[in-house]
Structure 1
């Protein structure tokens, strides 16, 4: 996917000028903010720590306690339980939870990236198209979104899950099992499998991706979310959080090397080269999507959310009715003038 600098320069000067303007500091104590990420530290998480290092949270009167996550489904449960009020998760977990728990919903409030669901194989395994999956052994963690959305892939390709053999495992050994030949293919987010395999020495040209999106299965994916009680009781705090996070994202897009610096300070054992590629992959997907082109960074289009709800509900045989407004709210975003795309910098 090629992103032209001309496209991304649109509104850059105005956006960056607005982002650079310091807010008036308050003498009052900073408000502590527990904030949960979706997974272990990687790539675009650097935007959160860049926001900390540059004082974007402090300018909003906030002292964030940012913790790594262990999967989006657990993030939604954390938020609903009240131990954390705000965090980063995926829409599939959100749709499932909100349909099953209408009395304590969690809502998406800042869009990050579209889903990059895929079936991943290696060259030489005889898999180059969906039909080749028949009879093959597919590795899939039970909580993996690509696995849960496989019925949608089946409906789009005509390859039923029953025509495959399945092996379930912990997420942290999925790519290793593929490399060892213990499974023929895996379900995964492309960005996760791509860089995990690359870090393990697999060449990109030896990877095979059957992308759900190439077969018409397109859903929005990761974004900031919060429980409804927090949104109702502290709307201004939510706006301040999103302002700080947004400034972190915008700064990470414009200066990815700085975001990497902030990430590496939190976990020096990360492979900087791999995380640099993962960051740029995430940035590319974040800025080059229809919703962002329509409404700026962070924006959810109602039609995109409603379409995603339909795909997820059908894939998971969920029968409850859920409108886009039951699970997303753009009211906490900064003004559109501050959400224009900055030019993408270099790592």
Structure 2
């Protein structure tokens, strides 16, 4: 009797140990290091909500999110292995893929499908056309996507880039330096400049004139979720889970922009909440709202348009190699078409 009891006890202990071990394995989360495009701003709710609402955890992911230093810099940070995932400028990725294809990350979810790049000048100043930038001084943060694309813009808009002086500046001084006349113009994303000015008490609708890259033939995509090729190869299912989580968060942000900004405010309470809500609404309406998403869904790209945009960047920057669309973007990890937004704004 005692012998049978001992055997039964040993078997039960083995079962319990197996169950415990299985639970530990099931609870193990894949670590992911993610860098944002910039300092905390309202539209980053499309990623931050995935953390706050438990979407990453539900996918078995432990995501560490850091602020960024510019959309171009985010691409570099992923390429060098400092981060597994980034939210950054696809055009910087195109340039890297042309120069160093083995180092370049891969874009997996296209978020900003309308070009936001612009030159902002004073509304009452003499600069009215791109050609007027010649002989002037233009400022920009060193890692800004618009700065990276300025040579391409100059070529397409007929500017002699050699006659334009480019100077670096702190991002938080961009709008103030323009208004004080310390520079003749500044580069950036139109909504970044617009709402940076509003946060500083300016009236960008009255004070600024915007010369937009998109008005001069640069029909480019913008920010995307990009991943390290090594990380994607080793953690394909984790990448799919990451995109499912971000897609859910993006739909939450689209459905209630004002509420979504709470995820940003809790991380940076000194932000102007009203301005961040307006910034988020404008980003949804202007940068994520290309008509093509009714056909292909948010997150994907139109292959022909994307290849044209690659050729624009390559030609305008004098790059020796033209990457294929598949070298820069893949839809292999996207959530199903039916799960992704077909419309983001009325």
- Fold conserved (TM > 0.5)? yes
Aligned residue for 1:332, secondary structure, equals: coil
Deviation (angstroms), 1:344: 4.9
Deviation (angstroms), 1:206: 1.9
1:343–1:191 distance in 2 versus 1, CA, 3 Å:
closer
User: Distance between the aligned counterparts of 1:45 and 1:66, measured in 2?
Assistant: 11
TM-score for the superposition, normalised by structure 1: 0.86
- Matching of residue 160 in structure 1 with residue 144 in structure 2: no
Partner of 1:33: 32
Deviation (angstroms), 1:129: 2.4
Partner of 2:317: 316
User: Distance between the aligned counterparts of 2:344 and 2:181, measured in 1?
Assistant: 42
Task: Please list, as runs of the form range in 1=range in 2, the aligned pairs for 1:36-115 lying within 5 A after superposition.
Answer: 36-113=35-112, 114-115=114-115
Deviation (angstroms), 1:342: 5.9
User: Distance between the aligned counterparts of 1:286 and 1:163, measured in 2?
Assistant: 31
Q: Bigger shift: 180-189 or 167-176? A: 167-176
Partner of 1:258: 259
Deviation (angstroms), 1:339: 0.9
Deviation (angstroms), 1:93: 1.6
Deviation (angstroms), 1:237: 0.7
Q: Bigger shift: 26-35 or 68-77? A: 26-35
| Residues 204-249 of structure 1 deviation map (CA, whole Å, 9 limit, x = unaligned) | 2221001111121121010100011112221111000000001000
User: Distance between the aligned counterparts of 2:59 and 2:191, measured in 1?
Assistant: 32
User: Distance between the aligned counterparts of 1:168 and 1:175, measured in 2?
Assistant: 13
Give the unaligned 5+ runs of structure 2. Answer: 1-24
Partner of 1:132: 132
1:59–1:168 distance in 2 versus 1, CA, 3 Å:
closer
Partner of 2:16: none
Deviation (angstroms), 1:32: 2.5
User: Distance between the aligned counterparts of 2:343 and 2:117, measured in 1?
Assistant: 27
Partner of 1:6: none
Please tell me whether the aligned partners of residues 137 and 183 of structure 2 are also in contact (alpha carbons under 8 angstroms): yes
Q: Bigger shift: 319-328 or 145-154? A: 145-154
- Matching of residue 270 in structure 1 with residue 298 in structure 2: no
Partner of 2:3: none
1:196–1:137 distance in 2 versus 1, CA, 3 Å:
same
User: Distance between the aligned counterparts of 1:304 and 1:29, measured in 2?
Assistant: 41
User: Distance between the aligned counterparts of 1:77 and 1:288, measured in 2?
Assistant: 27
Please tell me whether the aligned partners of residues 115 and 287 of structure 2 are also in contact (alpha carbons under 8 angstroms): no
User: Distance between the aligned counterparts of 1:171 and 1:38, measured in 2?
Assistant: 13
Aligned residues: 320
1:319–1:147 distance in 2 versus 1, CA, 3 Å:
same
Q: Bigger shift: 134-143 or 201-210? A: 134-143
User: Distance between the aligned counterparts of 2:83 and 2:267, measured in 1?
Assistant: 21
What root-mean-square deviation, in Å, do the aligned CA atoms of Structure 1 and Structure 2 show?
2.0
For CA contacts below 8 A with separation 6 or more, give which structure has more relative contact order. Answer: 1
Give the unaligned 5+ runs of structure 1. Answer: 1-25
Partner of 2:245: 244
1:290–1:47 distance in 2 versus 1, CA, 3 Å:
same
Deviation (angstroms), 1:27: 5.0
Q: Bigger shift: 219-228 or 85-94? A: 85-94
Partner of 1:295: 296
Please tell me whether the aligned partners of residues 43 and 282 of structure 1 are also in contact (alpha carbons under 8 angstroms): no
Please tell me whether the aligned partners of residues 151 and 160 of structure 1 are also in contact (alpha carbons under 8 angstroms): no
Deviation (angstroms), 1:54: 1.7
User: Distance between the aligned counterparts of 1:182 and 1:59, measured in 2?
Assistant: 50
1:91–1:337 distance in 2 versus 1, CA, 3 Å:
same
Please tell me whether the aligned partners of residues 121 and 208 of structure 2 are also in contact (alpha carbons under 8 angstroms): yes
Partner of 1:121: 121
Please tell me whether the aligned partners of residues 310 and 322 of structure 2 are also in contact (alpha carbons under 8 angstroms): no
Q: Bigger shift: 161-170 or 238-247? A: 161-170
